[in-house]
């Protein structure tokens, strides 16, 4: 069993991340889960998918959210340190 790739190709679904070899997006999998479907129900609905592919989509989404969260905190810290109010404040001279 090879680990499925999550790929993004601008010519497929507008570049949304998909499970390689399919037109099934990570977004679709996450929407099904958010709507209350189980992995087993997704596999029943899309019998061409394998469990490890659905799990790879979930893992991809989790990593993406984790990176976004870290990046947001880092960006916020940079914006605060470069803000004009801070630069002009006598407290920070």
The 10s digit of each residue's pLDDT in 69-83 is 666 565 666 665 565
Higher pLDDT, 89 or 64: 64
Residue 86, pLDDT > 50, answer: yes
**Which stretch of DSSP H or E encloses residue 7?**
strand 6-7
The pLDDT of residue 74 is 59
Q: Which residue reads 């889960």 in tokens?
A: 33
Query: What band does 93 get if pLDDT is binned at 50, 70 and 90?
Result: very low
Task: Give the chain's domains with CATH numbers.
Answer: 6-88 (1.10.10.10)
């Amino acid at each position: 069993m090879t680990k499925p790739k999550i790929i993004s190709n601008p010519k497929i679904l507008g570049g949304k991340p998909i499970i390689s070899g399919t037109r099934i997006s990570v977004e679709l999998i996450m929407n099904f889960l958010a709507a209350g479907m189980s992995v087993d129900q997704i596999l029943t609905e899309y019998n061409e998918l394998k469990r490890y592919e659905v799990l790879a989509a979930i893992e991809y989404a989790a990593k993406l959210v984790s990176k976004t969260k870290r990046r947001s905190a880092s960006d916020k810290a940079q914006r605060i340190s470069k803000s004009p109010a801070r630069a002009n404040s006598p407290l920070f001279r």
